[in-house]
């Protein structure tokens, strides 16, 4: 194999290793069977898998921040009913739910 074929083979291992569980069960053994070296194949396969996990963590964090910002902007004034409920609980010093249980 010349240098570019070898580079292409390792790039293919890296890209295919990005698929979860596909890396450990298919890509690395198949690359070793086809004649690639064991240690570089293993390291590149794990790097491909770790790269996708890293991207997943980043995107989950961005989605979480987006949802928090969206909820903060959508908060509205509490209804009159909920205000009365809070005031009743504060004024009487008891919980409202036990008093509603008899109805």
Domain boundaries, the chain: 3-100
Contact 31, 13 (CB under 8 A): yes
DSSP letter string over 65-76? HHHHHHHHHH--
Which of 100 and 18 is assigned the larger pLDDT? 18
Q: Which two tokens stand for residue 4?
A: 């570019």
Please name the residue that has the structure tokens 């292409």.
8
Which of 86 and 31 is assigned the larger pLDDT? 31
0.75 exceeded by pTM: no
Q: Which two tokens stand for residue 49?
A: 């898998």
Beta carbons within 10 angstroms of residue 2's beta carbon? 7
41: nearest Cα among 4, 5, 11: 11
Residue 94 confidence (pLDDT) above 70: no
Please name the residue that has the structure tokens 């005031």.
87
């Amino acid at each position: 194999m010349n240098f570019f074929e070898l580079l292409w083979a390792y790039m293919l291992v890296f890209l295919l290793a990005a698929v979860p569980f596909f890396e450990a069960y298919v890509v690395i053994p198949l690359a070793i069977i086809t004649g690639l070296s064991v240690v570089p194949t293993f390291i590149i396969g794990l790097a491909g898998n770790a790269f996708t996990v890293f991207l997943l963590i980043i995107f989950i964090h961005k989605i979480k921040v987006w949802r928090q910002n969206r909820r903060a902007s959508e908060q509205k004034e509490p209804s009159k009913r909920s205000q009365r409920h809070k005031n009743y609980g504060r004024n009487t010093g008891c919980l409202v739910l036990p008093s509603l249980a008899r109805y």
